[in-house]
A and B are shown apart, each in its own frame.
Chain A
Amino acid sequence: MGPQPFLNFFCKLLTEAEIDFALTSGQACVYYGIQQTTKDSDWIIEPNDLVKLVVLLQGLDGHQGYRVSYRAICGAPCSSEYLANGWTTHIQITDSDGAEHHVDLFGAAPRVSQIEKDSEDPNFASRHIVAQMKKTDREKDWPFVFALARQAVSLGDWRGVLHGTDADWLLASWPTVPDELRLELTTLRPLLSMIEAASGKLRRALMIERFVWQAVNRHRYRVFQNAWKEFFRQWRHEAGFDWPSTSGFGEQVGLLQQAAVNYQLPPRPLDELAKRDAVQKARHEAAEIFAADDIELDTIVPPLTWMLP
């Protein structure tokens, strides 16, 4: 089964199981006509439905030639305790043709406070959500952010101006934004106020803002990576360690849950203090690289609750 038929198959399974979900990231970009080649899939699952998802996956494992397994780098247990706090779970589904499908599961997606779906196809996260998720520290993700921004504004979703990365495009688009939306959008993206002020600093502000997003993301995921590596390092030294075991998915679920308890994988490593720390570090780095002072950064850096909800 190719990647596209697999997505249709898995969407149908989730829908039939009444699991609230949204396909996001690369596959959503494929849906929106921006990307060609990704095969992995990222799914936002309503955390309260994760129990149903685990039951579904256990039922799929061994059914009609399907095999479900955690991947070696498994992320956290597939439970609301972890995924609602920013962790991801990484599984592999092997279909009856032997094709392997990598499936990454989110509960609370990075930079996203609430699932929002495409109005035309509710299987997919909205452009606004996908753009927000794509604000990673990988340079290659940013053209997707901007492409989604342009699409959104073309379709009358003015929140696209929250994601535009080109000064000329922002200058041309901002006058079309209804007056009543401007204050809310500017609160989320302070640099938009520079457009009306005609400060002549918009291009510089866009560079600093992107740097801050990237730095915040780096500091955010390091918290998770460090916690996971510490956990896995200890688990690997356990006598008889075998992961991912060749036993069924159901047994793997129990093994990972027990290991998370035994080796104290923290459910919520990115607490409020860690969030503030990530933003503070990003501001310090921006101040050093761009010679920006606090007053200037205050006119550029988005609110913490927007970057790390």
Chain B
Amino acid sequence: MTDNNSDDSFPKRDASDPLYDEEYYEFLELAFGPEKAAWARLPRVEREKELAWIHANTNTPDDLDPWPPELGGGVDNP
């Protein structure tokens, strides 16, 4: 694990926003797809900018089940 992003064009990362080893991001790519893995690699500030754009410009999918998954929600929204 390294503490700082090697790309100087990104803001420096702090302890609350560590960069993980490459295997971790490979796992994210397998589990969630390349787009979300690429997002996960960004520093927090950049991730939040992306999120703001996604929420402002797309009909963001969400857990529309009235119950949270901890109380059984998601059965119709797997």
Binary contact readout A28-68 vs B (1 if CB under 8 angstroms, 0 otherwise) = 00100111111110100000000000000000000000000
B78→A139 contact, CB < 8 A: yes
How far, in angstroms, from A150 to B22 measured CA to CA in the complex? 12
Taking the closest CB of chain B, its distance from the CB of A166, in whole angstroms, is 8
User: Which of B1, B39, B51 is the one whose CB lies under 8 Å from A4?
Assistant: B51
Check if A3 is an interface residue, CB within 8 A of chain B: yes
The size class of the interface chain A forms with chain B is 35 or more
How far, in angstroms, from A154 to B2 measured CA to CA in the complex? 10
The size class of the interface chain B forms with chain A is 35 or more
B31→A147 contact, CB < 8 A: yes
B72→A222 contact, CB < 8 A: yes
* Residues on the A chain within 8 Å of B40, using CB: 33-34
Binary contact readout A203-241 vs B (1 if CB under 8 angstroms, 0 otherwise) = 000000000000001100110110000000000000000
B68→A104 contact, CB < 8 A: yes
Q: With CB as the reference atom, state the residue of chain B lying closest to A144.
A: B31
Taking the closest CB of chain A, its distance from the CB of B40, in whole angstroms, is 5
* Residues on the A chain within 8 Å of B28, using CB: 34, 147
Contacts A26-B63, A120-B16, A154-B24 given; does A37 touch B54 at CB 8 Å: yes
Check if B6 is an interface residue, CB within 8 A of chain A: no
* Residues on the A chain within 8 Å of B50, using CB: 36
Check if A143 is an interface residue, CB within 8 A of chain B: yes
* Residues on the B chain within 8 Å of A222, using CB: 72
A109→B63 contact, CB < 8 A: no
User: Which of B1, B31, B36, B67 is the one whose CB lies under 8 Å from A154?
Assistant: B1
- What are some 30 contacts across the A-B interface (CB < 8 A)? A2-B52, A2-B55, A2-B56, A25-B68, A25-B70, A33-B40, A34-B28, A36-B39, A36-B51, A37-B62, A39-B55, A71-B66, A72-B66, A75-B71, A88-B70, A90-B66, A120-B15, A138-B69, A138-B78, A139-B78, A143-B32, A146-B27, A146-B31, A150-B27, A154-B21, A221-B71, A221-B72, A224-B72, A225-B67, A225-B72
- B interface list, Cβ under 8 A from A: 1, 14-18, 20-21, 24, 27-28, 31-32, 36, 39-40, 42, 44, 47-48, 50-52, 54-56, 60-63, 66-72, 74, 78
